[in-house]
A and B are shown apart, each in its own frame.
Chain A
Amino acid sequence: MLDVLLGSLGELISPSSAAYALAAIGLGIHFGYSGLLNFGQAGFMAIGAYGFAVFTSLVDPTATWGWPPLLSLLAATLVGVAASVVFALILGIPTLRLRGDYLAIVTIAAAEIVRYVARTQDLTDVTGGSQGIRGNQFKGDIQAVNDGFLDLPTGTWYTVVSWALVVVAIVVVWGIMRSPWGRVVKGIREDEDAVRSLGKNVYAYKMQALVLGGVMGAVAGILLVFPRSVQADGFATILTFNVWTALLLGGAATVLGPVLGGVLFWFLLSFVRGVIGELHTLGVFGSTTATQAGQLAFVFVGLALIALVVFRPQGVMGNKKELSFNV
Chain B
Amino acid sequence: MSSPTKTHPLVQGEVGPGCAKVDPIVVADAVKRQFGGLTAVDVAHLEIPRGAITALIGPNGAGKTTFFNLLTGFDKPNEGTWSFEGSSLAGVPAYKVARRGMVRTFQLTKSLGRLTVLQNMLLGATGQRGERFGSAFWSFLWRKQENENTVRADDLLARFKLDAKREDFAASLSGGQRKLLEMARALMSKPTLVMLDEPMAGVNPALTQSLLDHVLGLKADGMSVLFVEHDMHMVRHISDWVIVMAEGKVVAEGPPESIMQDQAVVDAYLGAHHDTDLGTLTNQQVRQIEQEAAQELDEVQATREEDKA
How far is it, in angstroms, between the C-alpha of A175 and the C-alpha of B169 when the chains are bound?
22
Q: Contact: A198 with B98, CB < 8 Å?
A: yes
B114 contacts A325, CB within 8 Å?
yes
Complex contact B115–A199 (CB within 8 A) = no
Contacts of A176 in B (CB 8 A): 136-137
CA distance A196 to B73 in the complex (A): 10
**Residues of B105-123 contacting chain A, CB below 8 A:** 105-106, 110-115, 119-120, 122-123
Does B35 lie at the interface of the complex (its beta carbon under 8 Å from any beta carbon of A)?
no
- With a cutoff of 8 Å between Cβ atoms, the chain A residues found around residue B95 in the complex are 196-202
Contact A197 B112 (CB under 8 A): no
Q: Is the CB of A186 within 8 A of B112?
A: yes
Q: Whole-angstrom distance from the CB of B112 to the nearest CB of chain A?
A: 4
**A219-233 contact mask (Cβ, 8 Å, vs B): 1 or 0:** 000000000000000
Q: Which residues on A sit within 8 Å (CB–CB) of B182? A: 194
CB-based nearest B residue for A199 = B98
Does chain A have a CB within 8 A of B94?
Answer: yes
On whether the beta carbons of B123 and A322 are closer than 8 Å, the reply is no
Q: Find out whether the CB atom of A181 lies under 8 angstroms from the CB atom of B113.
A: no
Q: What residues on A are CB-neighbors of B286 within 8 Å?
A: none
A190 to B112 Cα, complex, angstroms? 5
Q: How far is the CA of A203 from the CA of B280 in the complex (A)?
A: 52
Instruction: Say yes or no: A190-B142 contact (C-beta < 8 A), given A181-B132, A200-B131.
Output: no
Tell me, rounded to whole Å, the shortest Cβ–Cβ distance linking A315 to chain B.
Answer: 14
**A184:B131 contact, CB within 8 angstroms:** yes
Using an 8 Å CB-CB cutoff, how does the interface string of B79-104 with A read, 1 for contact, 0 for none? 00000000000000111101100011
| Contact residues in A for B16 (Cβ distance below 8 Å) | none
Contact with A along B121-154 (1 / 0, CB 8 A): 0111010111111001101001000100000000
Q: Is A182 an interface residue (CB 8 A)?
A: yes
A163-196 with Cβ < 8 A to chain B: 172, 175-176, 178-184, 186-187, 189-191, 193-196
The verdict on B32 contacting chain A, using a C-beta distance below 8 Å, is no
- A327, CB-defined interface residue at 8 Å: yes
Shortest Cβ distance from B171 into A: residue: A325
CB pair B112–A187 under 8 Å, yes or no, is yes
Question: Is B123 a contact partner of A187 (Cβ separation < 8 A)?
Answer: yes
CB of B174 to closest CB in A, whole Å: 13
Which B residues lie within 8 Å of A191 (CB)?
Answer: 110-112
Asked if B192 lies at the interface with its beta carbon under 8 angstroms from chain A, I say no
List, in ascending order, chain B residues with CB within 8 A of A202's CB.
Answer: 95
Q: Which of B172-216 contact A (CB under 8 A)?
A: 172, 182, 185-186, 188-189
What is the CB-to-nearest-CB distance from B111 to chain A, in angstroms, rounded to a whole number? 8
- Residue from the list A180, A186, A197, A327 in contact with B131, Cβ < 8 A: A180
Q: Is the CB of B139 within 8 A of A197?
A: no
- B72 interface contact, C-beta 8 A: yes
A322 touches B137 (CB 8 A): no
B269 located at the interface, meaning its Cβ lies under 8 Å from any Cβ of chain A in the complex: no
Q: Tell me the smallest distance from the CB of A15 to a CB of chain B, in Å.
A: 26
Instruction: Check if B114 sits within 8 Å of A179, measured CB to CB.
Output: no
A183 touches B94 (CB 8 A): no
Is B74 interfacial (CB-CB < 8 Å)?
A: yes
A121 to B132, CA, bound (A): 44
Known contacts A193-B106, A198-B124; A186 and B139 CB within 8 A of each other: no
List chain A residues, Cβ under 8 A from B110.
Answer: 191, 193-194, 197
- Chain A residues with Cβ below 8 Å from B111 are 191, 194
Q: Given contacts A187-B112, A190-B115, A327-B113, are A180 and B98 in contact (CB under 8 A)?
A: no
- Report which of B113, B171, B189 forms a contact with A198, defined as CB distance below 8 A: B189
Chain A nearest CB: distance from B288 CB in Å? 43
Interface residue? A99 (CB, 8 A): no
Is B142 touching A180 in the complex (CB atoms < 8 A)? yes
Q: A180-B130, A191-B112 are in contact. Are A197 and B106 (CB under 8 A)?
A: yes
The 8 closest A-B pairs by CB, nearest first: A181-B136, A180-B130, A327-B113, A194-B110, A199-B98, A325-B171, A190-B112, A179-B136
> What would 24 A/B residue contacts be, using CB atoms closer than 8 Å?
A176-B136, A178-B139, A179-B136, A179-B142, A180-B136, A181-B132, A183-B115, A183-B123, A183-B131, A186-B114, A187-B115, A190-B114, A191-B110, A194-B111, A197-B103, A198-B95, A198-B103, A199-B95, A199-B99, A199-B126, A199-B189, A201-B95, A325-B171, A327-B113
